[in-house]
Amino acid sequence: MSISLFMLIFVLVLMVVPLVVGTYVYQDSRKRGMNPLLWTLVSLLVPALIGFVIYLLARVGYADETCPRCQTPVKETYVVCPNCGVKLKPTCPYCDQSVEPGWKVCPYCAKALPERQNDVEEPVRRKDKSLKVILGAIVAMPIAIVLLLVAHLIGGDIRGSVNTTYWQVDQYLDGKQDPSIEAWIRQCEEKIAQEKEMKAYVLRHDTEHKGDRLTQFLVYLPVAEGNLQIQADRYGTALGAVLQVRFLTAAEDSENPESVGYRLCTVSCRTDKIHRIEVFRNVTKLDCEVTKVDYNLTLFEMVPQ
């Protein structure tokens, strides 16, 4: 991840969090009968979300229950729904005062209460999930920023170099004189003929010498139309470096004519650990069949210095 992209994500987070908090505080304070503009300003202007915490501590209750029959908002003190008249709380049959479930004697008239009142329908409490979502986002965003920063610091600094050599197939085989590689190339051509779809084939060889790592790749694209130009580069991730090899349709006035017209290349990476390889045909990422081998893939022996 580049520094500019990381900074863009960081700035977006700094903009989104106050916007989400301000929107929530405005809507929540308005339905609670509080001053929405005042509390929105408090939540936004007091730094480090302290204003938001102050609002959560100072906000008053509101009618968060609804009638089970007509969904009209009702308060906890309502005995019946003001819209449809359904009975919401049990009452004393003698003095009509509201009583709590489980009471055996009315505290107002001292008369015995029935064990059960079948005509009562309890209000439905509305669940406010938005606060949980906002609090979760506030906690998750800093964690995400830290993880992105760690991934950037771990994977962003790639040491070493990448050397790429382009080959005609016959030229490479004549110079290498390795029956196993020749057999592998013929197998790749047979697989392409059977599968009839573009696919990249890769041999990989990893070696270490005195703590230094050398990774070699032999990349082969058996079937491809057009005059191709090969480019190789790598980028960092938290898991290690990723090697990208691109087979591009070359222009007639290519800046690197020596790399045009080839479908086979060796790539030697003196760099941090190569996590994986990606092969592209122009902008299309190809399926890549990677085979690890224990022998040198270049025409000369390479030993990490």
159: Cα separation from own chain's centroid: 27
Most confident of 24-38, 148-162, 252-266: 24-38
**Chain-wide mean pLDDT for the chain?**
80
- Quote the tokens at residue 229: 């130009």
| pLDDT digit string, tens, across residues 13-55 | 778 888 888 888 998 888 777 888 998 998 888 887 888 888 8
Q: Are 79 and 87 in contact (CB under 8 A)?
A: yes
Q: What is the spatial distance between Cα 111 and Cα 114, in angstroms, rounded to a whole number?
A: 10
Q: What is the pLDDT of residues 218-238, one digit of tens each?
A: 999 887 565 678 888 877 766
Q: What does the alpha-carbon distance between residue 144 and residue 210 come to, in Å, rounded to a whole number?
A: 37
Domain boundaries along the sequence of the chain:
3-61+128-156, 65-126, 160-292
Two tokens, residue 291? 């085979």
Residues near 192 by beta carbon (within 8 Å), at least 6 away in sequence: 198, 199, 222, 223
Looking at residue 84, its amino acid is C
Question: How many CA within 13 A on the CB side of residue 151?
Answer: 14
User: For the CA atoms of the chain, what is the radius of gyration?
Assistant: 35
Query: What is the average pLDDT across 62-79?
Result: 81
Letter string b/e over residues 150-165, b meaning 16 or more CB atoms within 10 A of that residue's CB: ebbeebbebeeebebb
CA-to-CA separations, 163 to 166, 264, 265, in angstroms, rounded: 10, 14, 10
pLDDT in tens, 78-128: 889 999 989 888 889 899 888 888 888 999 999 998 888 888 888 887 766
Q: Which pLDDT value is given to residue 237? A: 67
